[in-house]
Structure 1
Amino acid sequence: AMVLLYVFAGRLMMIVCTVMSVVVFDGGVTGAICGFVVSSAFSSIAGLWLSYWPFKRVTSYKSNIRIGDIMSYSFPVMMQGIYGFFIGASSLFFVSRYFGVEEFALFSNGYKELPFLSMVIGATSGVIFPEFSRMSGNGDDKRNFVALWRTVWYKSSTIIYPLSVFCLIFAGDIMAFIYGENYRSAAFLFIIVSVIGIVRVVAYSPIMLSLGLGREFANTHLVAAIMILALDVLCVNFFPNIIAIAMIATCCTVFCLFVMLITIAKSLESSLFKLIPLGAMSKILFASIISCLMARFLVHITGITNVLAVLAIGGVVYALIYFPFVSRLGVGYIDIIKPMLDIFANKFKTESSRQLMEESK
């Protein structure tokens, strides 16, 4: 629970500091960078404090872990970060180098993954990584890995899918609200990149690193980076178009995720269909699409043109239709939220009891 809260708060603070420095203080690019640095500094300080907090009453002793073991684990992670940089930056580089200023502005603002996507995935990653590591160290049955993976995938999809579908259907209004009416044409780019959110529901790194698949994890990103660079070069030379650049980046990213999913399934001696809760995912996705289309239609027939009003009313109508609908399909959000609330409640009771005992002493 503490890791989940830390990751979520860190991502939220980064967004707030970056946006406030530009919107409130009119800092421009320099202000955005300063906001990012400030939020990173506070997140680093909080992370260092939290890393020592669980071990305040633990006696330290010499570890049996060798430097070679640490490097064999961390090196693939470091290389994946390098390859990930090329995956994320190559499209922007080619658009800025071979296309005009206006198209670069459209691409840089439109082709962005949903902000909440990284927040949810980062939060779940921080929670499941220690659990997968514990299971791997204890030699748990591979079926337990599959069961936990399916549970995390299902719970993450209940949050990501409804929000992703709303952003897909209301993409034009979202672009107009954030950047202005001139950027409404960037909605198609936003729709293309949002497809990644449907596939990347959970973080793949915790289970792959826990299963000793660090090298495969890094190599998959290397292949994706090479594919993006090669296809982008062909694109700008033979069929220059920012939509094609966006399609290349999305297809290569989805390919990377699909290969990692197959690798995980083989390692767990499971099939791809057993690894993913397709039935529950289909229900959530179906309910999200139908509910959001109905909300979009109802907002349209009212004749409302104000962007903020369209998004606010559309979101409320969407929620009023979606939750009863998805409940009829057998997806219970109460069963998902209640365990999380119980964890926070038990944590609060434990801390309160501990404080009372210390005060009584």
Structure 2
Amino acid sequence: MGVEQRSSKTLQALWLVAGNLCSLLFGLGSMAVLGRYLTTEQYGTYRQVLYVYQTLLILFSLGMPRAYSYFLVRMPVEEGRSFVAKMRRMFLGLGAGFAVLLYAGAGGVAQVLENPALAPALRIFAPTPLLLMPVLGIESLLVALDRARLNALYVLFNRLTTAVGVLLPVVARDMGVEGAVGGFVAAGLVNFAVGSWVERLPFRRAARRPTRVSVREILAFSFPLFTAGLWGFVILSVSPFFVGRYLGAEAFAQYANGYVELPVAAWIVGATSTVLLPLFSRMQHDGRSGLEIVGVWRGVIVKSAKIIYPLSLFCCFFALPIVELVYGAEYRDAALFLQIITPVNLLRVVPYAPVLFALGRGRDFSRAHCATALLLVAGEALCVRWFPATAAIAAVQTLCTAGCLVALMVALRRAVAVGWRQLLPAAALSKLLLLSSVASGASRLAVGSVGSWNGLAGAFLLAAALYAVLCALCGVGYADLLQPLLGSEGALSRCGGVVGRAVSRVMNK
């Protein structure tokens, strides 16, 4: 793969990261406001509504959103509109079934989680899957068609609409958790309309002809993702279930606010995976070797680690002030969970799924999640019986998740048939980990306690400055991340050209 193509893919990933950064800020802002306007029980109920939706979404989506990335790069653009329409019909059917289940099963879910307030909230929320599932794969669709910038704008609009819809009834009308849930549904209606328009834009000038990809082929590709999703459903839901069921709504709120994978890590890896799956699918379809795929993959790991490692270590060292400033002093116990999840954040730099699925090894992906789910259920059942503490449940979750990621690494090594030294850039990752730890640890020692946003910002700037100095001394560069933005095709370069021409005109006058 040439330098220009690698630069293009990096730029696409950076556009996705930019969109998800805005999404992160809106999400954190929304949760911070809700945490102050709702009681702890009400806030816990709202988070349980999202927990039920997000875990069941894994089940009902059948792994199909990634089919856009896999198939669209293998077909003529004239078939794209027909393929998207077929996917849309399938998602509408799945969304309708999901909505009915949410409404009919609200009482049962509330009884299982022992929270009576959850039932009416879930019934209000029930139309959401019917609105959002048909536009579920827009990110994969746009990236596969090299429209990452449009995708970033769409994500920004989507999150802004959701934040306004959720917060307005709570802040302006004091409508409580029912108002927040109802606002989420109203925002979903707007996002459905906009998403339906956006997904047609890439095909507006293309002729239309029926797609040759059948429903059976789509399901054959998606089935390993679906089975992995089933086990992923267990992995994501078992810890919150045990916490909510046996330790109460308040403990659930603490756990939900603290035991969260670093959003930056999640959307960086999500962005790279979204970009890499169509790329690897095309490379495999064109008969490229495993070594070529590994070469691209290693570069992505190091680029991701350059961003994720320093941020993860900073959040670990400053977990308490971060939690207190975002959610309030009553959620200070959540800081421990933010520290416990740090190893998972560090291991997430590796995008496993794109390589495994592009090489037809989806079953290995599913098997690793199956083993993790079984171990997690057994481990947390023992925790509830012998060590009924939220911290113990979080520790077991971290150990099992880390084990899953290691198992995926082993499966990937077998798939590409290379040695460990060729597969994993261990030296580069170790150096980044050490430099990040030293910079954040020194900042923590220098700043001490942090009680304000200005203090936290100062601590971050100090850690960033120390990290930059250490990187310069140790030969760690960031040119590979900045070059796509500064190159001839980058947004900054174009802006510079516009400014230069404007200055030139002024000087000539």
Shorter-chain TM-score tier: 0.7 to 0.9
Query: Do structure 1's residue 337 and structure 2's residue 482 form an aligned pair?
Result: yes
Q: Secondary structure at the match of 2:341?
A: helix
Query: Do structure 1's residue 205 and structure 2's residue 353 form an aligned pair?
Result: yes
- 8 Å contact kept, 1:76–1:217: yes
Q: Which residue of 2 aligns with 1:139?
A: 287
Q: Which residue of 2 aligns with 1:126?
A: 274
Q: Secondary structure at the match of 2:490?
A: helix
Q: Which residue of 2 aligns with 1:155?
A: 303
- 8 Å contact kept, 1:7–1:123: no
Q: Which residue of 1 aligns with 2:466?
A: 321
Alignment of 1:209-220 (within 5 A): 209-220=357-368
Distance 1:86 1:44, change over 3 A: farther
Deviates more, 1:234-243 or 1:64-73: 64-73
Distance 1:333 1:273, change over 3 A: same
Q: Which residue of 1 aligns with 2:370?
A: 222
Q: For the residues of structure 1 that align with 2:465 and 2:361, how far apart are their CA atoms?
A: 43
Q: For the residues of structure 2 that align with 1:39 and 1:272, how far apart are their CA atoms?
A: 47
1:275 aligned to which of 423, 447, 467: 423
Offset from partner CA, 1:56-89 (integer Å, 9 cap, x none): 3333444443433222101222222232122111
- 8 Å contact kept, 1:113–1:197: yes
1:257 to partner: Cα distance? 1.1
Offset from partner CA, 1:317-360 (integer Å, 9 cap, x none): 111111121122122113321124434349979xx9xxxxxxxx
Query: Do structure 1's residue 299 and structure 2's residue 440 form an aligned pair?
Result: no
- 8 Å contact kept, 1:8–1:119: no
Q: For the residues of structure 2 that align with 1:15 and 1:186, how far apart are their CA atoms?
A: 25
Offset from partner CA, 1:43-68 (integer Å, 9 cap, x none): 65555555443333333444443433
Deviates more, 1:5-14 or 1:106-115: 5-14
Structure 2, unpaired ranges of 5+: 1-11, 13-141, 499-509
1:19 to partner: Cα distance? 5.3
State the one-letter code of the partner of 2:478: Y
1:39 to partner: Cα distance? 6.0
- 8 Å contact kept, 1:13–1:39: no
Q: Which residue of 1 aligns with 2:344?
A: 196
Q: For the residues of structure 2 that align with 1:135 and 1:38, how far apart are their CA atoms?
A: 42
Offset from partner CA, 1:136-167 (integer Å, 9 cap, x none): 10110110111011011111111111111110
Q: Which residue of 1 aligns with 2:319?
A: 171
Query: Do structure 1's residue 65 and structure 2's residue 213 form an aligned pair?
Result: yes
- 8 Å contact kept, 1:8–1:120: no
Alignment of 1:7-156 (within 5 A): 8=152, 16=160, 21-22=166-167, 25=172, 28-34=176-182, 36-37=184-185, 48-156=196-304
State the one-letter code of the partner of 1:319: A
* Cα RMSD for the two superposed structures: 2.8
Q: For the residues of structure 1 that align with 2:189 and 2:486, how far apart are their CA atoms?
A: 30
- 8 Å contact kept, 2:238–2:377: yes
Offset from partner CA, 1:165-209 (integer Å, 9 cap, x none): 110110010111112122222211111112211001143221111
- 8 Å contact kept, 2:162–2:188: no
Q: How many residues align structurally? A: 347
Q: Which residue of 1 aligns with 2:131?
A: none
1:266 to partner: Cα distance? 0.6
Deviates more, 1:37-46 or 1:171-180: 37-46
Q: For the residues of structure 1 that align with 2:194 and 2:490, how far apart are their CA atoms?
A: 20
Q: For the residues of structure 2 that align with 1:221 and 1:133, how far apart are their CA atoms?
A: 22
Q: For the residues of structure 2 that align with 1:110 and 1:77, how far apart are their CA atoms?
A: 28
1:212 to partner: Cα distance? 0.5
- 8 Å contact kept, 1:204–1:260: yes
Q: For the residues of structure 2 that align with 1:127 and 1:161, how far apart are their CA atoms?
A: 21
Report the TM-score, using the length of structure 2 for normalisation. 0.62
Distance 1:7 1:111, change over 3 A: farther
Q: For the residues of structure 2 that align with 1:38 and 1:202, how far apart are their CA atoms?
A: 37
Structure 1, unpaired ranges of 5+: 353-361
Q: For the residues of structure 2 that align with 1:121 and 1:50, how far apart are their CA atoms?
A: 24
State the one-letter code of the partner of 1:72: A
Deviates more, 1:206-215 or 1:22-31: 22-31
Q: Which residue of 2 aligns with 1:356?
A: none
Deviates more, 1:61-70 or 1:108-117: 61-70
Q: For the residues of structure 2 that align with 1:204 and 1:41, how far apart are their CA atoms?
A: 34
1:279 to partner: Cα distance? 1.5
Q: Secondary structure at the match of 2:375?
A: helix
Q: Secondary structure at the match of 1:139?
A: coil
State the one-letter code of the partner of 1:323: A
Distance 1:43 1:59, change over 3 A: same
Distance 1:124 1:310, change over 3 A: same
State the one-letter code of the partner of 1:177: L
Q: Secondary structure at the match of 1:270?
A: coil
Deviates more, 1:140-149 or 1:175-184: 175-184
Report the TM-score, using the length of structure 1 for normalisation. 0.86
- 8 Å contact kept, 1:76–1:214: yes
2:414 aligned to which of 260, 266, 273: 266
